[in-house]
Amino acid sequence: MKSHTLLMPLDMHLHLRDGVMLETVAPLTSYSFSGAVVMPNLVPPVTTKEDVIAYKKRINAALGRVEEADDVLMVDDFFEPYMTLFYQHYDREFLEDVVDDIAAVKLYPAGITTNSEGGVDSFDLETMRPTLEAMSDLNIPLCVHGESDGFVMDREAEFMSVYEMLASNFPKLKVIMEHITTKEAAAMLDRYPNLYATITVHHLLITLDDVAGGMLQPHLFCKPIAKRPKDRAALLDLALNAHPKVMFGSDSAPHPQHAKEACGCAAGVFTAPIALQLLCELFDANDKLDNLQNFVSDNAQSIYGICPEFKEVVLVESPFEVPEHYGSVVPMYAGETIAWSISNVE
């Protein structure tokens, strides 16, 4: 039986939500990942230091951890939630105070995806300059949901000019192009030394045809939407060859079943419990298993300058039947059998 070991896997773009949903999904990531960059688009969004601290406490509680004074007593697993702030025009004093509590600031164009109504409605350089210069000086990465409000298949490509504006005007600022989906974003990666990217597992596997080419598949609907085969090919080239400026970010985005299987289907694909298994299957099929460690951990450690909790995950080429539900959430490939399983986590 073929096996493969991953050390300190990291998910550099994750939605944990809050309340009951947080309690359901957080342990599914902490089981097999050493850490994850947690998105701040709650209702209301995470915009203050107090919000960051309180949300991290709720995550730790969902993982069965008890906090005593300044210490967190870990139960069952070793996992670090890397916290983020929802982008606003923050001043330097605020960012200096919160820098030790966050891994990044996440920028959403207003209304472009789930819970982003309070995002940026105008990319005015001078309005944003004080915040971005302070982030540059403090080495706080800017994570960006890169879509315009144009035609849905063109939104990411249309956003490339914003990335160029950010990268060229703030050369010390690490700009993370989140969950890229297009050949244009893949090509943009090497034009500026301060541009980086995350790629999801579902965008490596599906195209728009899988979402809407036959019967509509609501559990594959996400934003940014899956694109064309040539776009997927560009992403596969980056990921399978572990380009040093790309990282795995699942964008695993849970919604209750009634919100997905409904008129006005919520955007998000839930992959957290099967992400590593799917990646092993994909990389093995392309004879690139040796590059998976860089894609799921080493590149992220270098880009973010982090040292995650030690965790060794052993995967084996053994069939795994994906559950129909995790709580109220339907995962990608629910009820189907995938080729790899997690056999052991230490």
Mean pLDDT of the chain: 96
Residue 321: strand, helix, or coil: strand
Which residues are paired to 144 by β-bridges? 107, 177
Confidence band, pLDDT 50/70/90 cuts, at residue 75: low
Listed range (109-118, 271-280, 309-318) with the worst mean pLDDT: 109-118
Residue located via tokens 């983020």:
84
Residue 251 annotated as catalytic: yes
pLDDT in tens, 6-46: 999 999 999 999 999 999 999 999 999 999 999 999 999 99
C-alpha distances in Å from residue 163, one per residue of 108, 226, 234: 13, 20, 18
* Cα gap 18→34, rounded to integer Å: 20
CATH number at residue 318: 3.20.20.140
Residue located via tokens 């040796």:
290
Q: Which pLDDT belongs to residue 346?
A: 92
In this model, does residue 71 exceed pLDDT 90? no
Say which of 70, 251, 287, 298 is annotated catalytic: 251
pLDDT in tens, 146-161: 999 999 999 999 999 9
How many CB atoms are closer than 10 A to CB 28? 21
Phi, psi of 6 (to 5 degrees): -115, 140
pLDDT in tens, 300-309: 999 999 999 8
* Cα gap 280→205, rounded to integer Å: 12
Q: Which domain holds residue 263?
A: 3-345
Residues 290, 8, 5: CA angle, nearest 5 degrees:
40
pLDDT in tens, 237-258: 999 999 999 999 999 999 999 9
Can you tell me the mean pLDDT for 64-69?
65
Q: Which pLDDT belongs to residue 77?
A: 63
Domain count, the chain: 1
Q: Which pLDDT belongs to residue 69?
A: 52
In this model, does residue 166 exceed pLDDT 80? yes
List of long-range contacts for 62-65, beta carbons under 8 Å, 24+ apart: 62/16, 62/22, 62/23, 62/26, 62/27, 63/26, 63/27, 63/30, 64/27
| Structure tokens belonging to residue 36 | 């994850």
Residue located via tokens 């034009």:
191
C-alpha distances in Å from residue 142, one per residue of 131, 199, 333: 10, 16, 32
User: Percent of the chain, pLDDT > 70?
Assistant: 97
99 DSSP 8-state letter: G
C-alpha distances in Å from residue 60, one per residue of 30, 220, 314: 10, 29, 25
Give yes or no for a contact between 249 and 11, defined as CB atoms under 8 angstroms apart. yes
Confidence band, pLDDT 50/70/90 cuts, at residue 78: confident
Listed range (56-70, 114-128, 130-144) with the worst mean pLDDT: 56-70
In this model, does residue 139 exceed pLDDT 70? yes
Enumerate residues 6+ apart whose C-beta is below 8 A from 16. 22, 25, 26, 29, 36, 38, 39, 59, 62, 81
Which residues are paired to 246 by β-bridges? 197
The whole-model pTM stands at 0.96
In this model, does residue 68 exceed pLDDT 70? no
**Prior bond of 171 cis (ω within 30°):** no
How many CB atoms are closer than 10 A to CB 331? 23
Enumerate residues 6+ apart whose C-beta is below 8 A from 128. 89, 120
Q: Which pLDDT belongs to residue 309?
A: 85
Give yes or no for a contact between 16 and 57, defined as CB atoms under 8 angstroms apart. no
In this model, does residue 74 exceed pLDDT 90? no
pLDDT in tens, 194-233: 999 999 999 999 999 999 999 999 999 999 999 999 999 9
